[in-house]
Structure 1
């Protein structure tokens, strides 16, 4: 069922979000790899090893992180979901093995590409993707369907304090917002429960990045995403505006107005949740999917092997 419009982020332009998804560069930003590395370390506390797992958009999420997870679960089947054809081509090249390598034959049977079938994986990994979705509840629902019962979700995304210094600068200059508003971790937890996940665990940290020049800072931001706010500047700005932006960044983003490096804050949210045993709602008329019915029968022992 499609998500109602009032459930979607009001500060994300769906058309702009779709254009970014199609045009996003086929590279992993440094910040994404760093966040992926930190999230991958958390897998040591999860004792259950998945027999199959899914990496959602691994090119933008981090190919180095993807490799570390495959090393952690070497015997697990891996499913890769990439909506951008250029990203899929890069990922396929990254996984290509020499013809003489024994790993080539193992990889060819362990990797799956394209849409992930329902209830087919025991871990779904999504690094730094959710905050750019124009319909995050629909995306969470896709993740829920892909997971088998008792499977778990691991994801990260940017939080509300991200680039707060740049937001303050734009507001002081009387300009439209530099980006859409990011969702709070407590709201993500509520959405997880709404989509059928259980025991959500949410936490966050703030990472401060420094840059020697405003040009280098803007280059990094362009690699992370685009301004998806519906009220962003309606047209291209001129050289005068760009010059004013660089000057304002030098004045406002250096600590205490010094000549030191420019600093930007990034709030990173980490989320973890399980897919529980489905339960039929007790109403005058109840509808249960065939997949959920099979899961309930199997777990109750009624649908066991004969």
Structure 2
């Protein structure tokens, strides 16, 4: 297993799971940005020549992408996976389509799925909740069939920069979950031995009448600070008022405060041929059966 980025505080999975579990019943009403990002990710499949037989919606949440994938690939089996059981319960309430879908409650960093069993993995706004990206991508590679595709979105470090800066004026604690740089995510894809990785980014801005409305929306979708070095205890009214005052220094647009999201898009392929492994001294280890095929039985 690789070493997680030491500059980022690890995610407390229990807290993150509990936050999403509580948010599940009202998630769809608040997840405007998440649906927009998911739609943009799904649109990118228009340019991919792939007819998958089995698809994994990794971090399915309430099943928005799961339902879209079922509509797009009517003959495919779609598996919805999320680490919060109440989210999957909402997925099952979306309609009759779920009867053709399998719901699995599990962590993206430890997939209880067979090797070489999926043609497509789609993951929208999920991997920022993973502590070890290289290992997570390695799990994706393990379950992808040769030639299979991983396509995902996540958030970059400029996400919620206004809120982060406002809190920084109030105290020295981290109040916003950490996000990994696009180039580091690309490097993790390479280290995991996925092929032809591509990353790109765009910035989207939501606006709010007050800082309180922004924080309410974040709580409503379960996106609370889940880093292990987060401050413990309740946040008092005086500090919340100080944060709101600091946030007001941002330039308003038509009377509304901005909240920036750096949205990262990535995709990579499972190699058609399994990568060769290296020994400690740098020598390449080639399986005997692969060598026999390459030699073609020659003397």
**Same fold at TM > 0.5:** yes
* 1:65 aligned onto 2:55: no
The question of whether the paired residues in 2 share the 8 Å contact of 1:11 and 1:230 is answered with no
Compare the two structures and name the one with the higher helix fraction.
1
> Partner residue of 2:262?
267
Higher mean alpha-carbon deviation, 29-38 vs 179-188, is at 179-188
Unaligned runs of at least 5 residues, structure 2:
105-111
Work out the number of aligned pairs and report it. 278
Superposed, which structure 2 residues align to 1:223-234 within 5 Å? 223=221, 225-234=223-232
> Partner residue of 2:244?
246
* 1:212 aligned onto 2:209: yes
| Aligned CA-pair RMSD | 2.7
Structure 1 CA distance for aligned equivalents of residues 163 and 48 of structure 2 = 37
Higher mean alpha-carbon deviation, 187-196 vs 174-183, is at 174-183
The question of whether the paired residues in 2 share the 8 Å contact of 1:151 and 1:274 is answered with yes
> Partner residue of 1:112?
102
* 1:172 aligned onto 2:169: yes
> Partner residue of 2:107?
none
Unaligned runs of at least 5 residues, structure 1:
98-102
The question of whether the paired residues in 1 share the 8 Å contact of 2:122 and 2:151 is answered with yes
Matched position secondary structure for 1:74: coil
Q: Which one of the candidate residues 42, 49, 54 is aligned to 2:44? A: 42
TM-score, with length taken from structure 1: 0.81
Structure 1 CA distance for aligned equivalents of residues 54 and 101 of structure 2 = 10
TM-score, with length taken from structure 2: 0.83
The question of whether the paired residues in 2 share the 8 Å contact of 1:9 and 1:135 is answered with no
> Partner residue of 1:100?
none
CA offset at residue 282 of structure 1? 5.6
Matched position secondary structure for 1:278: coil
The question of whether the paired residues in 2 share the 8 Å contact of 1:8 and 1:136 is answered with no
CA offset at residue 266 of structure 1? 0.3
Structure 2 CA distance for aligned equivalents of residues 10 and 167 of structure 1 = 16
Matched position secondary structure for 1:201: strand
Structure 1 CA distance for aligned equivalents of residues 55 and 229 of structure 2 = 39
Higher mean alpha-carbon deviation, 274-283 vs 151-160, is at 274-283
Structure 1 CA distance for aligned equivalents of residues 233 and 128 of structure 2 = 24
> Partner residue of 2:234?
236
* 1:156 aligned onto 2:153: yes
* 1:141 aligned onto 2:131: no
What CA deviation, in whole Å up to 9, does each residue of 1:137-165 have, x standing for no partner?
22222211111110000100000111111
What CA deviation, in whole Å up to 9, does each residue of 1:197-225 have, x standing for no partner?
01001000000100112221111122251
The question of whether the paired residues in 2 share the 8 Å contact of 1:51 and 1:77 is answered with yes
Structure 1 CA distance for aligned equivalents of residues 255 and 157 of structure 2 = 25
Matched position secondary structure for 1:59: coil
CA offset at residue 179 of structure 1? 1.7
Higher mean alpha-carbon deviation, 114-123 vs 270-279, is at 114-123
Structure 2 CA distance for aligned equivalents of residues 230 and 55 of structure 1 = 27
The question of whether the paired residues in 1 share the 8 Å contact of 2:207 and 2:259 is answered with yes
Superposed, which structure 2 residues align to 1:184-199 within 5 Å? 184-199=181-196
The question of whether the paired residues in 2 share the 8 Å contact of 1:13 and 1:230 is answered with yes
CA offset at residue 270 of structure 1? 0.3
CA 1:259 to 1:112, structure 2 compared with 1: closer, same or farther past 3 Å? closer
Matched position secondary structure for 2:153: strand
CA offset at residue 93 of structure 1? 2.6
